[in-house]
Amino acid sequence: MILHVIKSNIYSGAENVVCQIIKGLSDREDFVYMAPHGPIEDKLRSIGLYENYRGVDKITVSEIKKAVNELKPTAVHAHDFTASVLCGYALKGRVPVISHIHCNPLWLKNSFHPNSISYYIASRWFSEIITVSDAVSREYVYSDKIKCPITTLGNPFSVEQVLNAAREGVSDSSDILYVGRFNPAKNPLGAIKIFEALPDHNQLTFRMIGNGELLEECKEYAATHGLNVVFEGFKDNVYTFMNSTKLVLMPSIFEGFGLVALEAMSLGKPVVCSGVGGLSDIINEDCGYICSDTATYSAAITELLTDKNIYGQKTTAARNRAAEFDNLDKYCNQMLSIYKNLI
Protein backbone atom coordinates (compact mmCIF):
# COMPACT_ATOMS: atom_id res chain seq x y z
CA MET A 1 0.00 0.00 0.00
CA ILE A 2 1.18 3.53 -0.86
CA LEU A 3 0.36 6.38 1.52
CA HIS A 4 -0.03 9.75 -0.22
CA VAL A 5 0.52 12.72 2.09
CA ILE A 6 -0.46 16.24 1.07
CA LYS A 7 -0.91 19.31 3.27
CA SER A 8 -3.61 20.98 1.16
CA ASN A 9 -7.31 20.40 1.82
CA ILE A 10 -8.55 21.71 -1.53
CA TYR A 11 -8.44 20.36 -5.09
CA SER A 12 -5.97 21.84 -7.54
CA GLY A 13 -2.97 20.77 -9.59
CA ALA A 14 -1.07 18.59 -7.10
CA GLU A 15 -4.27 17.05 -5.79
CA ASN A 16 -5.32 16.21 -9.33
CA VAL A 17 -2.04 14.35 -9.83
CA VAL A 18 -2.63 12.27 -6.69
CA CYS A 19 -6.14 11.36 -7.85
CA GLN A 20 -4.92 10.46 -11.34
CA ILE A 21 -2.28 8.15 -9.87
CA ILE A 22 -4.78 6.43 -7.58
CA LYS A 23 -7.38 5.98 -10.33
CA GLY A 24 -4.82 4.90 -12.90
CA LEU A 25 -3.18 2.29 -10.68
CA SER A 26 -6.08 1.17 -8.46
CA ASP A 27 -6.14 -2.25 -10.13
CA ARG A 28 -2.45 -2.83 -9.35
CA GLU A 29 -1.82 -1.10 -6.02
CA ASP A 30 -3.67 0.04 -2.88
CA PHE A 31 -3.60 3.71 -1.90
CA VAL A 32 -4.52 6.00 0.97
CA TYR A 33 -4.94 9.75 0.45
CA MET A 34 -4.02 11.57 3.67
CA ALA A 35 -4.89 15.27 3.85
CA PRO A 36 -6.55 17.77 6.20
CA HIS A 37 -10.33 17.91 6.37
CA GLY A 38 -11.90 20.37 3.94
CA PRO A 39 -13.28 20.82 0.42
CA ILE A 40 -11.12 17.96 -0.89
CA GLU A 41 -13.54 15.55 0.76
CA ASP A 42 -16.40 16.59 -1.53
CA LYS A 43 -14.15 16.25 -4.57
CA LEU A 44 -13.02 12.77 -3.55
CA ARG A 45 -16.66 11.75 -3.08
CA SER A 46 -17.59 13.07 -6.53
CA ILE A 47 -14.88 11.06 -8.28
CA GLY A 48 -15.31 7.88 -6.23
CA LEU A 49 -12.13 8.06 -4.16
CA TYR A 50 -13.51 8.93 -0.74
CA GLU A 51 -12.93 5.40 0.53
CA ASN A 52 -9.20 6.06 0.04
CA TYR A 53 -9.29 9.17 2.22
CA ARG A 54 -7.67 9.47 5.64
CA GLY A 55 -8.67 12.83 7.08
CA VAL A 56 -6.68 14.69 9.73
CA ASP A 57 -6.93 18.13 11.28
CA LYS A 58 -3.41 19.00 10.12
CA ILE A 59 -0.47 17.22 8.53
CA THR A 60 2.10 16.90 11.32
CA VAL A 61 5.04 14.66 12.21
CA SER A 62 2.92 12.89 14.82
CA GLU A 63 0.02 12.29 12.39
CA ILE A 64 2.42 10.88 9.80
CA LYS A 65 3.97 8.53 12.36
CA LYS A 66 0.52 7.44 13.51
CA ALA A 67 -0.65 6.72 9.95
CA VAL A 68 2.49 4.73 9.13
CA ASN A 69 2.24 2.70 12.33
CA GLU A 70 -1.42 1.85 11.65
CA LEU A 71 -1.36 1.37 7.88
CA LYS A 72 2.16 -0.02 7.44
CA PRO A 73 2.61 1.33 3.87
CA THR A 74 5.36 0.00 1.63
CA ALA A 75 6.17 3.61 0.68
CA VAL A 76 5.08 7.15 1.51
CA HIS A 77 4.47 9.52 -1.40
CA ALA A 78 4.74 13.10 -0.09
CA HIS A 79 3.53 15.98 -2.24
CA ASP A 80 5.27 19.36 -2.31
CA PHE A 81 7.83 20.76 0.07
CA THR A 82 6.14 20.91 3.47
CA ALA A 83 4.71 17.39 3.33
CA SER A 84 8.07 16.08 2.08
CA VAL A 85 10.01 17.70 4.92
CA LEU A 86 7.53 16.47 7.53
CA CYS A 87 7.61 12.91 6.15
CA GLY A 88 11.39 12.93 6.07
CA TYR A 89 11.69 14.01 9.69
CA ALA A 90 8.84 11.75 10.83
CA LEU A 91 10.17 8.55 9.28
CA LYS A 92 13.96 9.06 8.98
CA GLY A 93 14.41 6.10 6.68
CA ARG A 94 11.99 3.68 8.37
CA VAL A 95 9.83 3.68 5.22
CA PRO A 96 10.84 4.79 1.70
CA VAL A 97 9.73 8.38 1.07
CA ILE A 98 9.09 9.80 -2.38
CA SER A 99 9.18 13.60 -2.43
CA HIS A 100 7.00 14.82 -5.30
CA ILE A 101 7.50 18.51 -6.10
CA HIS A 102 4.76 20.21 -8.12
CA CYS A 103 5.94 23.83 -8.13
CA ASN A 104 9.05 25.98 -8.20
CA PRO A 105 8.66 28.84 -5.68
CA LEU A 106 11.10 31.72 -5.84
CA TRP A 107 12.89 30.67 -2.64
CA LEU A 108 14.34 27.64 -4.46
CA LYS A 109 17.14 29.89 -5.68
CA ASN A 110 17.94 31.28 -2.22
CA SER A 111 20.57 29.24 -0.38
CA PHE A 112 19.79 31.02 2.91
CA HIS A 113 16.02 30.59 2.84
CA PRO A 114 14.76 28.36 5.70
CA ASN A 115 12.68 26.30 3.27
CA SER A 116 15.67 25.60 1.01
CA ILE A 117 17.75 24.50 3.97
CA SER A 118 15.06 22.38 5.66
CA TYR A 119 14.27 20.57 2.41
CA TYR A 120 17.95 19.81 1.83
CA ILE A 121 18.33 18.42 5.36
CA ALA A 122 15.16 16.28 5.00
CA SER A 123 16.35 14.97 1.63
CA ARG A 124 18.80 12.64 3.34
CA TRP A 125 15.77 10.45 4.14
CA PHE A 126 14.21 10.57 0.66
CA SER A 127 14.45 7.52 -1.59
CA GLU A 128 13.45 9.47 -4.71
CA ILE A 129 12.52 13.00 -5.74
CA ILE A 130 10.01 13.50 -8.56
CA THR A 131 9.60 16.90 -10.22
CA VAL A 132 7.01 18.09 -12.70
CA SER A 133 9.53 19.98 -14.83
CA ASP A 134 13.27 20.36 -15.24
CA ALA A 135 12.88 23.93 -13.96
CA VAL A 136 12.34 22.65 -10.41
CA SER A 137 15.65 20.80 -10.11
CA ARG A 138 17.44 23.38 -12.25
CA GLU A 139 16.42 26.24 -9.97
CA TYR A 140 16.85 24.51 -6.60
CA VAL A 141 20.09 25.81 -5.16
CA TYR A 142 21.07 22.53 -3.46
CA SER A 143 20.14 20.12 -6.28
CA ASP A 144 23.74 19.09 -6.89
CA LYS A 145 24.15 18.11 -3.22
CA ILE A 146 21.14 15.80 -3.02
CA LYS A 147 22.08 12.12 -2.90
CA CYS A 148 18.87 10.40 -4.02
CA PRO A 149 17.71 10.18 -7.67
CA ILE A 150 15.80 13.16 -9.09
CA THR A 151 13.35 12.25 -11.85
CA THR A 152 11.32 14.62 -14.03
CA LEU A 153 7.97 13.06 -14.93
CA GLY A 154 5.79 15.98 -15.92
CA ASN A 155 2.12 15.60 -15.05
CA PRO A 156 -0.38 12.87 -15.92
CA PHE A 157 -2.54 14.26 -18.70
CA SER A 158 -5.38 12.98 -20.85
CA VAL A 159 -6.86 14.99 -23.71
CA GLU A 160 -9.86 12.64 -23.77
CA GLN A 161 -10.67 13.36 -20.11
CA VAL A 162 -10.66 17.10 -20.77
CA LEU A 163 -12.86 16.79 -23.86
CA ASN A 164 -15.35 14.55 -22.05
CA ALA A 165 -15.58 16.90 -19.07
CA ALA A 166 -16.07 19.91 -21.36
CA ARG A 167 -19.10 18.20 -22.90
CA GLU A 168 -20.83 17.82 -19.55
CA GLY A 169 -22.36 21.27 -19.64
CA VAL A 170 -22.36 24.78 -21.07
CA SER A 171 -21.01 27.83 -19.23
CA ASP A 172 -21.34 31.54 -19.90
CA SER A 173 -18.94 32.76 -22.54
CA SER A 174 -15.95 35.03 -22.03
CA ASP A 175 -13.24 36.68 -24.06
CA ILE A 176 -10.49 35.95 -21.53
CA LEU A 177 -10.36 33.30 -18.80
CA TYR A 178 -8.17 32.90 -15.70
CA VAL A 179 -8.15 29.54 -13.90
CA GLY A 180 -6.09 29.09 -10.75
CA ARG A 181 -5.65 29.85 -7.11
CA PHE A 182 -5.84 33.45 -6.00
CA ASN A 183 -2.37 33.49 -4.50
CA PRO A 184 0.86 35.37 -5.23
CA ALA A 185 2.30 32.54 -7.35
CA LYS A 186 -0.53 32.69 -9.89
CA ASN A 187 -0.60 36.53 -9.96
CA PRO A 188 -4.38 37.08 -10.28
CA LEU A 189 -4.13 40.81 -9.58
CA GLY A 190 -1.56 41.07 -12.33
CA ALA A 191 -4.04 39.34 -14.64
CA ILE A 192 -6.67 41.96 -13.82
CA LYS A 193 -4.22 44.79 -14.49
CA ILE A 194 -3.35 43.22 -17.85
CA PHE A 195 -7.06 43.15 -18.68
CA GLU A 196 -7.37 46.79 -17.58
CA ALA A 197 -4.55 47.75 -19.96
CA LEU A 198 -6.40 46.40 -23.01
CA PRO A 199 -7.58 49.36 -25.11
CA ASP A 200 -11.10 47.97 -25.51
CA HIS A 201 -11.49 46.21 -22.15
CA ASN A 202 -14.89 47.84 -21.59
CA GLN A 203 -16.23 45.75 -24.47
CA LEU A 204 -14.73 42.50 -23.20
CA THR A 205 -15.60 39.95 -20.51
CA PHE A 206 -12.94 38.53 -18.24
CA ARG A 207 -13.92 35.53 -16.10
CA MET A 208 -11.80 34.34 -13.20
CA ILE A 209 -12.18 30.90 -11.61
CA GLY A 210 -10.69 30.01 -8.25
CA ASN A 211 -10.42 30.93 -4.59
CA GLY A 212 -7.59 32.04 -2.36
CA GLU A 213 -6.20 34.67 -0.05
CA LEU A 214 -6.03 37.36 -2.77
CA LEU A 215 -9.63 36.98 -3.93
CA GLU A 216 -11.09 39.88 -1.92
CA GLU A 217 -8.26 42.20 -2.93
CA CYS A 218 -8.87 41.33 -6.58
CA LYS A 219 -12.60 41.90 -6.25
CA GLU A 220 -12.03 45.28 -4.65
CA TYR A 221 -9.59 46.36 -7.36
CA ALA A 222 -11.96 45.34 -10.15
CA ALA A 223 -14.90 47.12 -8.50
CA THR A 224 -13.08 50.36 -7.77
CA HIS A 225 -11.69 50.50 -11.30
CA GLY A 226 -15.00 49.68 -12.99
CA LEU A 227 -13.73 46.57 -14.72
CA ASN A 228 -15.93 43.89 -16.28
CA VAL A 229 -14.39 41.02 -14.32
CA VAL A 230 -16.66 38.13 -13.34
CA PHE A 231 -15.49 36.17 -10.31
CA GLU A 232 -16.85 32.65 -10.55
CA GLY A 233 -15.26 31.18 -7.42
CA PHE A 234 -14.26 27.53 -7.25
CA LYS A 235 -15.77 25.25 -9.91
CA ASP A 236 -15.68 21.46 -9.99
CA ASN A 237 -15.68 21.49 -13.77
CA VAL A 238 -13.58 24.31 -15.20
CA TYR A 239 -13.55 22.75 -18.66
CA THR A 240 -16.99 24.03 -19.63
CA PHE A 241 -15.68 27.54 -18.97
CA MET A 242 -12.53 26.85 -20.98
CA ASN A 243 -14.70 25.60 -23.81
CA SER A 244 -16.67 28.85 -23.77
CA THR A 245 -13.78 31.30 -23.77
CA LYS A 246 -11.55 32.63 -26.52
CA LEU A 247 -8.23 32.48 -24.71
CA VAL A 248 -6.64 31.69 -21.34
CA LEU A 249 -4.41 34.13 -19.46
CA MET A 250 -1.64 32.80 -17.15
CA PRO A 251 0.66 35.59 -15.85
CA SER A 252 2.16 33.33 -13.16
CA ILE A 253 5.14 34.42 -11.07
CA PHE A 254 6.20 30.78 -10.82
CA GLU A 255 4.65 27.62 -12.21
CA GLY A 256 5.85 24.09 -11.63
CA PHE A 257 4.24 22.49 -14.67
CA GLY A 258 1.35 24.44 -16.21
CA LEU A 259 -1.47 21.90 -16.42
CA VAL A 260 -4.11 24.59 -16.98
CA ALA A 261 -2.34 25.55 -20.19
CA LEU A 262 -2.51 22.01 -21.55
CA GLU A 263 -6.16 21.66 -20.57
CA ALA A 264 -7.07 24.88 -22.36
CA MET A 265 -5.05 23.93 -25.43
CA SER A 266 -6.83 20.57 -25.62
CA LEU A 267 -9.96 22.61 -26.30
CA GLY A 268 -8.23 24.73 -28.91
CA LYS A 269 -7.72 27.77 -26.71
CA PRO A 270 -4.50 29.76 -27.17
CA VAL A 271 -2.64 30.54 -23.95
CA VAL A 272 -1.05 33.91 -23.17
CA CYS A 273 1.41 33.40 -20.33
CA SER A 274 4.56 34.44 -18.51
CA GLY A 275 6.58 31.42 -19.64
CA VAL A 276 7.95 30.71 -16.15
CA GLY A 277 8.81 27.21 -14.94
CA GLY A 278 7.16 24.41 -16.89
CA LEU A 279 5.19 26.83 -19.08
CA SER A 280 8.28 27.42 -21.21
CA ASP A 281 8.28 23.70 -22.07
CA ILE A 282 4.63 23.77 -23.13
CA ILE A 283 3.90 27.08 -24.83
CA ASN A 284 5.58 28.14 -28.06
CA GLU A 285 4.88 30.82 -30.65
CA ASP A 286 2.67 28.45 -32.65
CA CYS A 287 0.08 27.82 -29.94
CA GLY A 288 0.27 30.93 -27.75
CA TYR A 289 2.39 33.77 -26.48
CA ILE A 290 5.05 34.15 -23.82
CA CYS A 291 5.00 37.72 -22.51
CA SER A 292 7.32 39.76 -20.33
CA ASP A 293 5.35 42.88 -19.41
CA THR A 294 1.92 44.48 -19.61
CA ALA A 295 2.54 45.92 -23.07
CA THR A 296 3.42 42.53 -24.62
CA TYR A 297 0.44 40.88 -22.90
CA SER A 298 -1.85 43.59 -24.24
CA ALA A 299 -0.48 43.26 -27.78
CA ALA A 300 -0.78 39.46 -27.75
CA ILE A 301 -4.35 39.43 -26.44
CA THR A 302 -5.42 42.18 -28.84
CA GLU A 303 -3.96 40.30 -31.78
CA LEU A 304 -5.79 37.09 -30.83
CA LEU A 305 -9.12 38.86 -30.37
CA THR A 306 -8.95 40.90 -33.58
CA ASP A 307 -7.11 38.77 -36.15
CA LYS A 308 -9.22 35.75 -37.12
CA ASN A 309 -6.50 34.17 -39.25
CA ILE A 310 -3.91 34.21 -36.48
CA TYR A 311 -6.50 33.03 -33.95
CA GLY A 312 -7.43 30.10 -36.18
CA GLN A 313 -3.80 29.10 -36.64
CA LYS A 314 -3.14 29.25 -32.90
CA THR A 315 -6.27 27.23 -32.17
CA THR A 316 -5.21 24.38 -34.44
CA ALA A 317 -1.65 24.46 -33.14
CA ALA A 318 -2.87 24.47 -29.54
CA ARG A 319 -4.80 21.22 -30.04
CA ASN A 320 -1.83 19.61 -31.77
CA ARG A 321 0.56 20.73 -29.05
CA ALA A 322 -1.68 19.40 -26.26
CA ALA A 323 -1.83 16.02 -27.97
CA GLU A 324 1.95 15.75 -27.67
CA PHE A 325 1.60 15.69 -23.87
CA ASP A 326 -1.12 13.03 -23.73
CA ASN A 327 0.61 10.54 -21.45
CA LEU A 328 -1.74 9.15 -18.79
CA ASP A 329 -1.03 5.44 -19.32
CA LYS A 330 2.71 6.00 -19.73
CA TYR A 331 2.82 8.19 -16.62
CA CYS A 332 1.03 5.63 -14.46
CA ASN A 333 3.36 2.87 -15.65
CA GLN A 334 6.38 5.01 -14.83
CA MET A 335 5.00 5.70 -11.36
CA LEU A 336 4.32 2.03 -10.77
CA SER A 337 7.90 1.24 -11.75
CA ILE A 338 9.17 3.74 -9.18
CA TYR A 339 7.00 2.19 -6.48
CA LYS A 340 8.22 -1.32 -7.29
CA ASN A 341 11.86 -0.26 -7.24
CA LEU A 342 11.40 1.05 -3.69
CA ILE A 343 9.75 -2.08 -2.31
- pLDDT tens-place string over residues 247-284: 999 999 988 889 999 999 999 999 999 999 889 999 99
pLDDT for the residue numbered 13:
85
Give, in order, the Cα–Cα distances in Å from 156 to each of 118, 287, 332. Answer: 28, 20, 8
Residues 213-252 pLDDT 10s:
999 999 999 999 999 999 999 898 999 999 999 999 999 9
Question: Region 75-80: what's the mean pLDDT?
Answer: 97
- pTM value? 0.87
Domains defined for the chain, CATH in brackets: 2-156+327-342 (3.40.50.2000), 159-323 (3.40.50.2000)
For 65-117, the DSSP string reads HHHHHHH--SEEEEEHHHHHHHHHHHHTTSS-EEEEE----GGGG-TT-HHHH
104 band by pLDDT with thresholds 50, 70 and 90: confident
Q: What is the mean pLDDT of residues 144-169?
A: 95
**Kind of pairing between the strands at 229-233 and 2-6:** unpaired
What pLDDT digit, counting tens, does each position of 31-75 carry? 999 999 999 999 999 999 999 999 999 999 999 999 999 999 999
Buried b (16+ CB within 10 A) or exposed e, 80-95: bbbbbbbbbebbeeeb
Can you spell out the DSSP letters for 161-227?
HHHHHHTT-----EEEEEES-SSTTT-HHHHHHHHHHSTTGGG--EEEE--STTHHHHHHHHHHTT-
Lowest mean pLDDT among 94-103, 135-144, 320-329: 135-144
